[in-house]
Amino acid sequence: MKNLIYLTLFSLVFAACEKIVDVEIPSESPRLVVEGQITNLKELWKVRLTLSQPYFDQEEVDAIADAVVTIKGTDGTDVLLSHTDTGMFVSNDSLQCLVGEEYFLSIIYKGDTYTAKEKLQNAFAIDTLAAFYLPPNDRSFPEGTYIFLQGQSDQANQSFYLFKTYRNDTLKSEDLDDDEFGSVSLLNSAFDVNDILGEIARGSLPRPILFDVDTDDTIRVEQYAITQQYYQFLIDLGAQQGRSGTPFDPPPANPNNNISNGGLGYFSVAHKEEMELVVE
């Protein structure tokens, strides 16, 4: 009983010594954030402009309306984008990029000029999109129906890809890929995607898009051939978004980008191909 009293008094002493310390976290001035991507497909060109916010004040995004946004290309393109809403600047007409040409973004905001540039990479269309049921106890993947695609890479240059896969118009998967993955690339160029079970039986391991699908699902895959710099930006961004508070997290940092003058975000020029499949 005496030990219990001592332990209680000991705890009260430490509780009485507790002191709340308010840590003042420094905050920098807002910076321009750019989100934009144009492709080889004939579409409206869009660039979204916002301002960065303090880490603990993320409730509402400050959108920009009073900026001059233009995109010029070595193919002779010269386009002024008009503000619509929520910081979105859009071209009046649908436009498309050309392989090998370079495109320059210019933003004039509050007397400062921000620029970015990228060149459109070459890419091939998706050859095949297929769905296969893999039975239970398979040594490669859990039981289920998976999507496999097949395509070819540009042999003359190292290629970097972003794949977006939609199930019934809902984005289900975003996968980064590049030539260094070799035979386990999502392009599956070394395999017969019309005989996935046969490939697995022969000891090969084609790579599926990892989410389960059902009969009558509509699957759409978008393939983006992107630059190495944008590829690395997406890797760095994913690492920061995946922080969990453990000692193994990367140090907090803004991803390297291609926006000049201290701007954040990225302006990407991508070669886009897509294919759709209804699962049988």
HEC string of the chain equals CHHHHHHHHHHHHHHHCCCCCCCCCCCCCCCEEEEEEEECCCEEEEEEEEECCCCCCCCCCEECCCEEEEEEECCCCEEEEEECCCCEEEEEEEECCCCCCEEEEEEEECCEEEEEEEECCCCCCEEEEEEEEECCCCCCCCCEEEEEEEECCCCCCCCEEEEEEEECCEEEEEEEEEHHHHHHCCCCCCCCCCCHHHHHHCCCCCCCECCCCCCCCEEEEEEEEECHHHHHHHHHHHHHHCCCCCCCCCCCCCCCCCCCCCCEEEEEEEEEEEEEEECC
What are the angstrom distances between the C-alpha of 77 and each of 71, 103, 259?
Answer: 7, 8, 20
249 or 48, greater pLDDT: 48
Over residues 5-25, the mean pLDDT reads 54
Average pLDDT, the chain: 86
Residue 202's pLDDT is 85
In contact, 32 and 109? CB cutoff 8 Å: yes
pLDDT at 141 over 80: no
Residue 5's pLDDT is 47
5 or 253, greater pLDDT: 253
Q: How far apart are CA 86 and CA 61, in angstroms?
A: 9
pLDDT at 6 over 70: no
pLDDT at 271 over 80: yes
Over residues 18-46, the mean pLDDT reads 82
Q: How far apart are CA 96 and CA 43, in angstroms?
A: 7
Nearest alpha-carbon partner for 129 in 275, 279, 280: 275
Residue 60's pLDDT is 72
Residue 114's pLDDT is 98
Condensed to tens digits (0 to 9), the pLDDT of residues 67-111 reads 999 999 999 999 999 999 889 999 999 999 999 999 999 999 999
pLDDT at 140 over 80: no
Q: How far apart are CA 84 and CA 88, in angstroms?
A: 6
Residue 174's pLDDT is 94
Condensed to tens digits (0 to 9), the pLDDT of residues 151-162 reads 987 777 788 999
pLDDT at 239 over 60: yes
Compute how many other C-beta atoms are within 10 angstroms of the C-beta atom of residue 219. Answer: 22
% of the chain exceeding 70 in pLDDT: 81
Spell out the SS3 assignment of 94-147: EECCCCCCEEEEEEEECCEEEEEEEECCCCCCEEEEEEEEECCCCCCCCCEEEE
- Residues near 186 by Cβ (< 8 Å), separated by ≥ 6? 149, 161, 163, 175, 177, 207, 209
Over residues 24-47, the mean pLDDT reads 88
Please provide residue 213's backbone torsions phi and psi, each rounded to the nearest 5 degrees: -125, 165
Residue 89's pLDDT is 98
